[in-house]
Amino acid sequence: MVRYVLIAALVVLFAGVFLRGAFASDVPAVGAEAPDFTLSSQEGKPVNLKDFRGQWVVLYFYPKDFTSGCTLEAHNFQRDLPQYEHRHAVILGVSVDSADSHKQFCTKEGLNFKLLADTDKKVSEEYGSLTNLAVVKFAARHTFIVDPNGKIVRVYTSVDPAKHSGEVLAALDQLEKSK
């Protein structure tokens, strides 16, 4: 019996050590200045967060192009794009995939908003959105709403790709009313 308890304790200890490094670090807090960055878009052009001052920014991190959840989430943002434009909001998707992968994804899926390539994983890490599973690193499914002044006003770390776009639109409406 003691042997099983010791084995269980060791399993829990090793799992805790492994999983602590597996998940993203702390995300920037609501009210903080959004960390600035410059990343390449699917068009191969540099995009800087400061380029969007004066607009709302929906900065969403996602794991991988062409996967089912990421495709669903992107389709919903694309479907709702006119509503975002009406609210003076821009959508920026970020993953650790290459700009070429993003270009292929946008072409295949009919996406007309910017997808940004964080191939060195620094931006994902700075936003607490980098997941590290042993030798594989990818962006966690997180979203940040950045106000027109560059401040983070909403953070989502638990995202349902099927409902997320509607949730973000509702948040933008609420944030606009409270200005």
Burial state string for 63-79 with b = 16 or more CB within 10 A and e = fewer than 16: bebeeeebbebbbbbbe
Q: Looking at the predicted structure, is the pLDDT value of residue 11 above 80?
A: no
CATH of residue 67: 3.40.30.10
Per the structure, how many domains does the chain have?
1
Model-level pTM? Answer: 0.84
Domain of residue 167, residue span: 2-177
CA distance 155 to 46: 25
Q: Which of 47, 49, 70, 96 is catalytic?
A: 70
pLDDT at 57 over 50: yes
80-115 pLDDT per residue, tens: 999 999 999 999 999 999 999 999 999 999 999 999
Q: How many CB atoms lie within 10 A of CB 99?
A: 18
Active site residue 70: yes
Residue 14, pLDDT > 80, answer: no
- Give me the count of residues in the chain: 179
